[in-house]
Structure 1
């Protein structure tokens, strides 16, 4: 008997959601059966997250009905959904940094023994879950300071311990490399074999063919197409998502200058996260950095941009040693970083788009030491239009979609006319349409003679946008590949040495 022969464990009928005069979900029907993976796809703003929040009890529908194992289902809170047997892994990390890994895995449901918290049992179970996902780290370690990728694996391990009958995975691999993703897929296969239903949301469309049994595509709050198999060409999925034909995913890459803009000479971290790194980036070159989680990619670019300390080595810009000791040093010299976590490190979510752009450009907006609202608004509005941000200047950054938030981060730094732009996971959690716009921006920077460094866990992405690719493995520089020599196999061979 296949999953399609079984009655749904979860059924949604005519689910609608209205905010004021705006209807964001238009009568959604959805079934999920035991032991199957339903991929829920669509651009940012398509309604996927709202629908997931309704299923998981975080948002109440305006109308429509749900059933869970044939009985009426209407969770008033996420806790009610969890108690019913539904778990959700959120795209935005929700860990508590001052608690240990084990405490985070079992937060709100601590294991007890004889009336006391059983820390040993929690640590053993948390460690076992993390090891299954390829993360060998002490469960007693605080979450604070862990990389985004490691935090994502902890979120996944947390959901795996729920013994849920249905899991919603929202961009679970967005911060993961290929090896970590395959470990997760093996866990998903085990869950399927145990009869767990899974709703899988991802912008990495190639992985959908590996993991999904069915595909549901949403656009503008409506379900527009459903495929009875996961083996659907990416182009077909993309065209269903965007409602138009898509000629190509990646734009043409311009040829760089022969002049070197940035050099990294013998750079090492005081924490041992990277060692003896040497490379150069030319004017107008897009230089990719690839590697598995824990390879030291993010730590390296944070050091280059002054966000993390440097033990030995130099950063040389346009022939001059600048070796930044702080982000301010790097910014003053024309080196800027678009960080991997735009919500935590790139934006002040509770402040407006205009304010966020202004924070990085006070010297340009207030050249005399005084700044007026009119001048700030004019300055920010120009960059909002230039980068196609879909939002008003006075709107809070936290209200924007992931793609538009990333455009704001790009706008605030590119307004400074930098010499070097470092992009760490530039399209993490961003839909296909917004990705295309960001890729176009990267190529425009290169055409202007700016040196661009792109760090990405998405191998297709780093291959698609880079003139050359440096591969890192366990904190070391494993090799640098020219575009003509770089492919999935050559990169992974270096990444796993």
Structure 2
């Protein structure tokens, strides 16, 4: 069914989230909503799915004006949302989650056999397969999202709002999800795709609506847009060069030396250096061992053999706390699962690793506040107060909170694993500038990224990994997207750790 919003506006206090928005979404299409944080795209999706209520304007379904006062009412009209934070019961199976609340009963008893049969039929008709022999907590994030989609289909949803569904997925999981979205479109379901990932948007969309400051800038076909044209429309500025200029490293002397690092079947004989003022990127396909190497250097995971030197001395890092004490910090791959305590304040999140040190100062709040304020500003966090909860921040500002925490340790080695995952274009630029600034100040920076433009745009050197081994090192003019891809897919280490 076609969906249309007419003159829709929404305020949160003095903030105008949506300003007289008019939009048509055709039935059986994938329609993307894009924009920087605060553009209004998620707010619009939540109004359509009943999470928020509009202040003025109207929503039409199949040509009829409708009221959507709650998620339940939205679902009764065939609209639902799959939020960034999945709402599954971790201890229950996929089938139990899909049919929770709409089970078949025989008296007071749930008819388990009927639920199993209905689940198998649903997966068959939808083409979405997911394991049903374990709790959903044991499933990958990609499979958990499939469970959410199946739950929507089990409730006869015709319009599914997906809010940043690829933010926590690997490249392979993202490809699978896009295939699922295309399959749903072929079944005449309507997908509203809210995303920061412009490559995914251009790849999967039938239509793209660009928002800025609560207004619609334009709606267009993917064939009429490019990455740069989308960025310019989202920001109101020329795309230009997304990355700051590379400044030559301050000193050839290595801050970090990794020699022969090996861990089981994950990686073997890893050796490289990172100098003062140098940004080195670890690149490669998902599963190549990039993140595992970084976690071993940081002490999050053990390694079997090899050594790590910091400023010429061998160090024994058995725990991240030891790494921090030695001047090594790390931004983890998933800020929500591995980095932040979402319901605590920005202040508490920044000071968390340094509580022991602060306790030696009798937990003097003045020292803590001074440390927090200094690094709050250095990371460029945009928030009214450091007492705001991290959950209330945009993805970009949540990531900056992790940067602030890391900077508070006055590190000599800064490791950033997927530093811009799930943040908007404006926040990406700010993070790139922050990383470049750290290098200019003489810090050694190690970046792990799945985004090729990020690897090429930031790094002085690129180390390419494949199946747990280093297969190439690119320097200066050798660094290009094609060179990184060629090395990542090379036959040099086809046998990987078995060679």
Aligned to 1:264: 258
Paired residues of 1:10 and 1:68 also in contact (CA < 8 A): yes
Q: In the aligned structure 2, how far is the partner of 1:15 from the partner of 1:476?
A: 54
Within 5 Å, which residues of 2 pair with 1:418-457? 418-457=411-450
1:346-366 CA-to-partner distances (Å, cap 9, x unmatched) read 222222222222223346656
Which structure 1 segments of 5+ residues have no match?
Answer: 1-7
* Matching residue within 144, 147, 172 for 1:154: 144
Q: Does 1:387 align with 2:379?
A: yes
TM-aligned CA distance change 1:237 to 1:382, over 3 Å: same
Within 5 Å, which residues of 2 pair with 1:68-467? 68-99=61-92, 115-116=111-112, 139-142=132-135, 144=137, 150-156=140-146, 158-159=148-149, 162-163=152-153, 164-256=157-249, 257-269=251-263, 272-362=265-355, 369-391=361-383, 392-467=385-460
SS at the partner of 2:165? coil
SS at the partner of 2:303? coil
CA RMSD of aligned residues (A): 3.3
Q: Does 1:482 align with 2:475?
A: yes
SS at the partner of 1:416? coil
Q: CA deviation at 1:403?
A: 0.9
Paired residues of 1:209 and 1:231 also in contact (CA < 8 A): no
Q: In the aligned structure 1, how far is the partner of 2:117 from the partner of 2:466?
A: 33
Structure 1 residues 442-451 or 116-125, which shifts more? 116-125
TM-aligned CA distance change 1:175 to 1:474, over 3 Å: farther
Matched pairs, number: 482
Aligned to 1:31: 24
TM-aligned CA distance change 1:182 to 1:351, over 3 Å: closer
Q: In the aligned structure 2, how far is the partner of 1:103 from the partner of 1:295?
A: 35
SS at the partner of 1:360? helix
Paired residues of 2:33 and 2:210 also in contact (CA < 8 A): yes
1:190-246 CA-to-partner distances (Å, cap 9, x unmatched) read 333322222222222233332223221212222233335553132222222122334
Q: CA deviation at 1:442?
A: 0.6
Q: In the aligned structure 2, how far is the partner of 1:389 from the partner of 1:117?
A: 52
Aligned to 1:3: none
Which structure 2 segments of 5+ residues have no match?
Answer: 495-499
1:291-338 CA-to-partner distances (Å, cap 9, x unmatched) read 333334333322221222333333222222224211111111111111
Q: In the aligned structure 2, how far is the partner of 1:40 from the partner of 1:33?
A: 14
Q: In the aligned structure 2, how far is the partner of 1:336 from the partner of 1:196?
A: 45
Paired residues of 1:14 and 1:28 also in contact (CA < 8 A): yes
TM-aligned CA distance change 1:175 to 1:495, over 3 Å: farther
1:122-147 CA-to-partner distances (Å, cap 9, x unmatched) read 886899899979xxx9653555577x
Normalised TM-score (structure 2): 0.85
Q: In the aligned structure 2, how far is the partner of 1:98 from the partner of 1:472?
A: 36
Paired residues of 1:267 and 1:278 also in contact (CA < 8 A): yes
TM-aligned CA distance change 1:267 to 1:355, over 3 Å: same
Q: In the aligned structure 1, how far is the partner of 2:90 from the partner of 2:269?
A: 31
Structure 1 residues 120-129 or 171-180, which shifts more? 120-129
Q: CA deviation at 1:107?
A: 5.6
Aligned to 1:18: 11
Report the structure number with the largest CA radius of gyration: 2
TM-aligned CA distance change 1:21 to 1:425, over 3 Å: same
Q: In the aligned structure 2, how far is the partner of 1:288 from the partner of 1:130?
A: 40
Paired residues of 2:298 and 2:323 also in contact (CA < 8 A): yes
Paired residues of 2:95 and 2:116 also in contact (CA < 8 A): no
Paired residues of 1:40 and 1:218 also in contact (CA < 8 A): yes
